[in-house]
């Protein structure tokens, strides 16, 4: 489910990867992620919590007509030499292109790293420039899985990627026709079912900020309106600070007046329209993690290091929990906390969240909670006699926790809905065996993602979604999510860091993986929806269109705000997708100017913070590193902001 880079790197540009990193993704680690607790176990056969049958292939299309005569070699355009990588023949009018069923070197099979989608290949069908490792939301430096060549792609020492012969096209078309006669159109001809209540909980795919949602005069009951002119221009840019090592700058938020972004040992507020600095305040150390949730009066939570690095203490502990007043531009309070069962040493935290007036921080030493306004402790980290502790929390409209029990080689995870003021469990659901890490996608409704038995195989952390009744703790439905079909992504170990998905209308909205479109040089994908009561893949889909990729960012009322990634020669777009009809409404179209495109495409999906609000779109880095030795004078930005009139 990880995403490949948006465009091929230029040798003259500084790389976004640390110096010395290879240009092609190394093989992923053979074992579980760092910090794992033993080998994964197989999921239990049958019984309560058994997954529903996998949904039909969402890429259904009508069979293509075999050519009447052998096709003539196409004339290659100047900027796109012949040798398309496995480009399928054009579909029949009105049909939707679907690759054949996964097979060795076929669609759905791991592919070789490709240049940015829509980018022409070099002579002989080989990529014009070397690939760049993708940057999914994993631990820093986590590589993407190496890909294998796609069927029809140029092979080393080959002929530049010949297309099927006429005979082979006829054979394949006939085979596909047989399959499609049996089940074509089943998925998307289905009618949408009952929404079950249209919950307005949202799960932002990017860290830092939430939609306003709820009732309003915008699209589908949300707050976002279509600007008079959707053509955007660059509102402002914030240069990337010069550093000597990798530095975390996670966290960005939007208020009615300011765009707020973390910096190096500081947090800065910028005018939303002009980018002029409104305020700034220092922190004792580097940012470790932040909450994407913001209270109604613009407060949010952060975790940062207790001090700056020194020779004696190169890696200070992430033990400071604090609350930032984003409107006033100040740190309201910060404090550390000791464990109720672990001595006087301050506890370190991996993540932090916010629900109502409660700030909750979790980590491998347990969880703690504080009052939002004063920092008063609500509960402290504690390991029970049974070895159980709170691994991490998820906030928003409700508060939930992943509680970890058992031994290192046989962990047992429990998902609990909590009373946010006392921490008392309201309900509990025990995850299946074989789950080492669980990720809470949404707290209301309660939706959890997990890689059961380490079967996803792509580093996304997702093989299944679990829709849970928060009131009773009973499983409503378990939804299989084939990693070769769907592109959701969760941090390998953390609880509330999932992206590329949204939850609302009692539905889970997921993007499909990118796949061949009708254009010879570009990929495409769709956004589809699963019912959270039945687990069924519902009728309807939002198509990205040729050479574009759709990625959900968050909910806005009953609509989805999504980023439409563009090919190398176009600017990206922000669209609103109706959660019922899947009709798309363009909210923003970014400039096609080369310099602007170049800056936009540095912010890769999965490794950048993307926020859209009231006609303004902000793209920001989560981490920065020292300048490239190839072109040290190249301008690189921490933030690029776009605005419409």
Report which secondary-structure segment, H or E, holds 617.
Answer: strand 616-621
Q: What is the pLDDT of residues 201-218, one digit of tens each?
A: 333 333 333 433 334 456
Q: What is the pLDDT of residues 533-549, one digit of tens each?
A: 999 999 999 999 999 99
How much is the pLDDT for 262? 98
Residues 6+ apart with CB under 8 A from 39: 31, 32, 409
Q: Could you tell me if residue 47 is inside a domain? A: no
Strand-by-strand arrangement of the 358-362 sheet: 351-355, 358-362, 368-371, 377-379
- Scanning the structure block, which residue is given the tokens 């402290």? 380
Q: Could you tell me if residue 308 is inside a domain? A: yes
Share of the chain above pLDDT 90, in %: 57
Q: How far apart are CA 555 and CA 141, in angstroms?
A: 30
Estimate to the nearest angstrom the gap between the alpha carbon of 433 and the chain centroid: 26
Q: Could you tell me if residue 368 is inside a domain? A: yes
How much is the pLDDT for 523? 94
Q: Are 161 and 85 in contact (CB under 8 A)?
A: yes
- Scanning the structure block, which residue is given the tokens 């580097």? 286
Q: In 551-643, which ranges are continuous DSSP H helix?
A: 594-600
Query: Per mean pLDDT, which of 80-84, 437-441, 602-606 is the most reliable?
Result: 437-441
How much is the pLDDT for 218? 67
Q: What is the pLDDT of residues 280-315, one digit of tens each?
A: 999 999 999 999 999 999 999 999 999 999 999 999
The parent domain of residue 349 ranges over 252-291+294-384
Q: Are 204 and 210 in contact (CB under 8 A)?
A: yes
How much is the pLDDT for 141? 31
What is the band of 516 on the pLDDT scale with cuts at 50, 70, 90?
A: very high
Q: Could you tell me if residue 267 is inside a domain? A: yes
Split into its structural domains, the chain has a count of 1
Q: Could you tell me if residue 285 is inside a domain? A: yes
Residues 6+ apart with CB under 8 A from 61: 91, 95, 96, 97, 98, 180, 184
Q: How far apart are CA 606 and CA 9, in angstroms?
A: 17
What is the band of 593 on the pLDDT scale with cuts at 50, 70, 90?
A: very high
Q: How far apart are CA 245 and CA 96, in angstroms?
A: 47
How much is the pLDDT for 492? 86
How much is the pLDDT for 18? 41
Q: Could you tell me if residue 156 is inside a domain? A: no
Q: Are 461 and 136 in contact (CB under 8 A)?
A: no
- Scanning the structure block, which residue is given the tokens 């959701």? 488
- Report the CATH number at residue 271: 2.130.10.10
Report which secondary-structure segment, H or E, holds 418.
Answer: strand 410-418
Q: Inform me whether the pLDDT recorded for 406 exceeds 80.
A: yes
The tokens of 519 are what? 């254009």
How much is the pLDDT for 626? 87
| pLDDT (mean) for 566-576 | 96
Q: How many CB atoms lie within 10 A of CB 82?
A: 18
Q: What is the pLDDT of residues 48-104, one digit of tens each?
A: 444 445 444 444 444 444 444 444 444 444 443 333 333 344 444 433 344 444 443
Q: Could you tell me if residue 330 is inside a domain? A: yes
| DSSP symbols for 20-63 | T--SSPPPPPSSPPTT--S---PPPPSSTTPPPPPPPPTT--PP
Report which secondary-structure segment, H or E, holds 598.
Answer: helix 594-600
Q: Are 360 and 395 in contact (CB under 8 A)?
A: yes
Q: Inform me whether the pLDDT recorded for 152 exceeds 50.
A: no
Q: How many CB atoms lie within 10 A of CB 630?
A: 13
How much is the pLDDT for 69? 44
Q: What is the pLDDT of residues 478-500, one digit of tens each?
A: 999 998 999 999 998 999 999 99
Q: How far apart are CA 267 and CA 281, in angstroms?
A: 6
Estimate to the nearest angstrom the gap between the alpha carbon of 254 and the chain centroid: 19
Q: Could you tell me if residue 377 is inside a domain? A: yes
Residues 6+ apart with CB under 8 A from 135: 5, 16, 17, 604, 606, 607
Q: What is the pLDDT of residues 234-282, one digit of tens each?
A: 999 999 999 988 999 999 999 999 999 999 999 999 999 999 999 999 9
What sign results for the dihedral spanned by CA atoms 362, 366, 370, 375? negative
């Amino acid at each position: 489910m990880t995403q490949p880079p948006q465009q091929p790197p230029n040798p003259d540009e500084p790389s976004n990867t640390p110096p010395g990193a290879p240009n092609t993704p190394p093989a992923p680690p053979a074992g579980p992620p760092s910090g794992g607790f033993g080998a994964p176990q197989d999921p239990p056969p049958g019984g309560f919590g058994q997954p529903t049958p996998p949904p039909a292939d969402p890429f259904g299309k009508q069979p293509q007509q075999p050519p009447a005569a052998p096709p003539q070699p196409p004339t290659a355009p100047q900027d796109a030499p012949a040798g398309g990588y496995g480009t399928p023949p054009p579909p029949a009018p009105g049909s939707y292109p679907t690759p054949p069923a996964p097979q060795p070197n076929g669609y759905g099979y791991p592919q070789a790293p490709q240049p940015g989608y829509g980018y022409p290949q070099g002579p002989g069908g080989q990529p014009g420039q070397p690939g760049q490792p993708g940057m999914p939301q994993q631990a820093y430096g986590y590589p993407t899985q190496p890909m294998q060549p796609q069927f029809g792609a140029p092979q080393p020492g080959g002929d530049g990627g010949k297309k099927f012969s006429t005979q082979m096209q006829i054979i394949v078309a006939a085979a596909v026709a047989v399959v499609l006669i049996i089940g074509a159109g089943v998925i998307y001809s289905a009618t949408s079912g009952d929404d079950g209540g249209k919950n307005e909980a949202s799960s932002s795919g990017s860290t830092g900020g939430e939609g306003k949602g709820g009732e309003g005069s915008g699209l589908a009951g949300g707050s976002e309106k279509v600007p008079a002119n959707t053509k955007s221009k660059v509102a402002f840019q914030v240069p990337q600070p010069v550093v000597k090592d990798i530095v975390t700058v996670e966290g960005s938020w939007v208020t009615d007046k300011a765009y707020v972004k973390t910096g190096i040992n500081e947090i800065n507020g910028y005018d939303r329209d002009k980018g002029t600095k409104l305020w700034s305040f220092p922190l004792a150390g580097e940012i470790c993690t932040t909450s994407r949730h913001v209270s109604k009066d613009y407060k949010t939570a952060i975790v940062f290091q207790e001090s700056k690095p020194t020779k004696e203490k190169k890696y200070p502990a992430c033990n400071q929990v604090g609350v930032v007043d984003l409107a006033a531009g100040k740190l309201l309070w910060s404090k550390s906390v000791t464990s109720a069962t672990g001595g006087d040493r301050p506890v370190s935290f991996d993540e932090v969240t916010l629900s109502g007036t409660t700030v909750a921080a979790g980590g491998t030493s347990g969880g703690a909670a504080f009052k939002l306004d004063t920092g008063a402790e609500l509960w402290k980290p504690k390991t029970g006699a049974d070895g159980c502790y709170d691994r991490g929390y998820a906030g928003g409209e409700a508060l939930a926790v992943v509680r970890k029990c058992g031994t290192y080689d046989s962990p047992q995870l429990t998902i609990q809905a909590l009373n946010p003021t006392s921490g008392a469990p309201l309900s509990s659901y025990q995850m299946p065996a074989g789950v080492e890490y669980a990720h809470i996608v949404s707290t209301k409704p309660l939706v959890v993602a997990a890689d059961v038995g380490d079967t996803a195989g792509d580093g996304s952390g997702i093989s299944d979604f679990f829709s849970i009744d928060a009131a009773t703790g009973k499983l409503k439905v378990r939804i299989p999510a084939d990693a070769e079909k769907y592109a959701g992504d969760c941090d390998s170990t953390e609880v509330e860091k999932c992206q590329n998905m949204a939850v609302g209308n009692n539905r889970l909205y997921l993007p499909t993986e990118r796949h061949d479109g009708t254009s010879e040089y570009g990929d495409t994908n769709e956004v589809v929806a699963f019912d959270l009561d039945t687990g069924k893949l519902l009728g309807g889909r939002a198509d990205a269109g040729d050479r574009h990729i759709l990625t959900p960012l968050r909910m806005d009322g009953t609509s989805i705000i999504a980023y439409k990634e563009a090919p190398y020669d176009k600017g990206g777009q922000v669209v609103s997708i109706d959660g019922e009809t899947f009709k798309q409404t363009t909210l923003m179209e970014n400039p096609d100017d080369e310099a602007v495109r170049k800056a936009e495409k540095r912010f890769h999906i999965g490794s950048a913070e993307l926020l859209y609000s009231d006609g303004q779109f902000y793209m920001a880095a989560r981490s920065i590193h020292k300048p490239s030795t190839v072109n040290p004078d190249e301008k690189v930005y921490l933030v690029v902001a776009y605005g419409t009139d």
